[in-house]
Chains A and B, each alone.
Chain A
């Protein structure tokens, strides 16, 4: 099986003036289809740069990056845009939905830039299907400001899913959410992962990382730890426990 991500000696050096900053220093790793990976690290550890590189938003200055078997480290701007469109679904900390644009139109956005020629009706159908997966089909016409944070992030997940990408990339997806909503979103990820979708997520929250299957820890631009998650949490279980705890509090007061 071809790995979804294969990094060989990836380097990323920023040169601002005379100072050279080596944000990523020779990272090699591979992520197989169906994996659910959390990349962790303190700020300045190079995880954001890694994320940009993995997301084909940025090109490494050294090394080779194979995404789905394609060497993307030498592609130009437009080719990278096409790869992002076809192979990668992005989920951001700040949701990054277009304001004053309905949920369904936000979901349709990547399909507008797709090479596939879809009719307006096909767009709508695929958009609704993607919203259905995250359980928001009935809110298709709502604008982001009419949705809660968790719902907005679900719309963003639906947007990431609509082009059937090989990889979901989530950058601190729960960073702007309260703990219960965070668990709900992790539940969505776990469900998607069970259906075989590969997910890579950047987070600095240890408990959130425990919902994934594999944790990679970075420091100073290099991978310092890469382990499978033991005692993995499941979102449904955690939500049930939260509910019980709340119930118990309710009983005692």
Chain B
């Protein structure tokens, strides 16, 4: 028996019961669409996280002031006051692959310009910071190393500050007062948008770390040191060297606890994407259950169909159909059902992914061709797997019994 004729026969049988066919396919359609949309959402989220981490800068190694154990009392990380400017200077001086180094302090304060005021975050950095974070200027320039040495009252502001304080005004050269201290604006940063955590990265005033420490905070220790390695393969080397150097400077013995922590970009990326990856796997698993349920639906309907068409099977056998002709006919019917469901599901899944990016909640989605190919193959396999038993049952019918069936 010709395969093509069998296909035509199977499709015709499916067309005869349109409603039933559609309802049977529904399980597969929903399953496949869900898998594709979920994978697309997962991929989109992962991609977004990766992009945002990349926007933090490339090849970046961060040193955090660690927790310290003083007489049994452990201070939280960053509060230990163990990192000093001298540490940052030593790193810049002694590690050649650390091409950019920026000590960092952070505070927040009410700032004012003219009759406007705004509460925002204040960062003290070195001029290297803008290179490390790959952050271009909208206008003006960075403060200079000389500004750092002299603790000059200059600042660079983010796009949000411009919007809040200098609506319709040229901010360059203007003065903002931070805790009563006037700072002259020398540069305006290009907008970076929201971070992974949802905070506004542009809502910031950045000034020389010396100015921030002396004039605003009155501290001598720093919170973080951002370091850029010369190239991606130097990250580990830089990380190790920084560790050794700081242990030596802080006089930490072999078996002592580090009073700082070092993380690099790759770790952040991994941690941030791991969560979304696990979420994706979880949701895909749930969606796969719906595929299996869809398969059982197909098996159910095929069993009904075999029973309904017992007489037809008898007629076909009487006029010379072999068991395998009947098997093939029902198998093709089941596979057509499931793969048509698969195709419709793929179309719906891709459509849903696109809609999610265009309409609220504006999730970034990324349809993976692999997920499309896999879910199509999976749906076809569901047809073969769940169609086999009913088809086998049909093929094993006794022609005499089948012809007599009412």
Q: For residue A171, which residue of chain B has the nearest CB?
A: B403
On chain B, the residues within 8 Å of A112 by CB distance are 1-2, 5
B158 in contact (CB, < 8 A):
no
Knowing A92-B403, A112-B1, the reply to whether A55 touches B319 (Cβ < 8 A) is no
A33 in contact (CB, < 8 A):
no
- Are B16 and A85 in contact, CB atoms less than 8 angstroms apart? no
Which residues 265-324 in B have Cβ within 8 Å of A in the complex?
A: 311-312, 314-323
- Are B321 and A113 in contact, CB atoms less than 8 angstroms apart? yes
On chain A, the residues within 8 Å of B90 by CB distance are none
- Are B311 and A96 in contact, CB atoms less than 8 angstroms apart? yes
A22 in contact (CB, < 8 A):
no
Count of chain A residues with Cβ under 8 Å from any Cβ of B? Answer: 24
Knowing A84-B318, A114-B320, the reply to whether A58 touches B400 (Cβ < 8 A) is yes
Knowing A96-B311, A100-B16, the reply to whether A57 touches B320 (Cβ < 8 A) is no
B325 in contact (CB, < 8 A):
yes
On chain A, the residues within 8 Å of B319 by CB distance are 84-85, 90, 109-110, 113, 159
Instruction: Give the dominant DSSP class at B's interface.
Output: helix
- Are A113 and B315 in contact, CB atoms less than 8 angstroms apart? no
Q: For residue B325, which residue of chain A has the nearest CB?
A: A113
- Are A113 and B16 in contact, CB atoms less than 8 angstroms apart? no
On chain A, the residues within 8 Å of B325 by CB distance are 113
Which residues 57-104 in A have Cβ within 8 Å of B in the complex?
A: 57-58, 77-78, 81-82, 84-86, 90, 92, 96-98, 100
- Are B320 and A84 in contact, CB atoms less than 8 angstroms apart? yes
A146 in contact (CB, < 8 A):
no
How far does the Cβ of A217 sit from chain B's closest Cβ, in whole Å? 23
Contact of B400 among A57, A78, A109, A159 (CB under 8 A): A57
How far does the Cβ of A210 sit from chain B's closest Cβ, in whole Å? 28
- Are B400 and A52 in contact, CB atoms less than 8 angstroms apart? yes
Contact of B320 among A52, A86, A92, A98 (CB under 8 A): A86
How far does the Cβ of A141 sit from chain B's closest Cβ, in whole Å? 15
B57 in contact (CB, < 8 A):
no
Q: How far is the CA of A96 from the CA of B323 in the complex (A)?
A: 19
- Are B323 and A78 in contact, CB atoms less than 8 angstroms apart? yes
- Are A90 and B322 in contact, CB atoms less than 8 angstroms apart? no
Chain B positions 375 through 406: 1 when the CB is less than 8 Å from some CB of chain A, otherwise 0: 00000000000000000000000011001000
- Are B1 and A90 in contact, CB atoms less than 8 angstroms apart? no
3 residue pairs, one from A and one from B, having the closest CB atoms:
A85-B320, A110-B319, A113-B320
A-B contact pairs, 7 of them (CB 8 A): A82-B322, A84-B319, A90-B319, A92-B403, A96-B314, A109-B315, A113-B316
Task: Give A residues with C-beta under 8 Å from B.
Answer: 52, 55, 57-58, 77-78, 81-82, 84-86, 90, 92, 96-98, 100, 109-110, 112-114, 159, 163
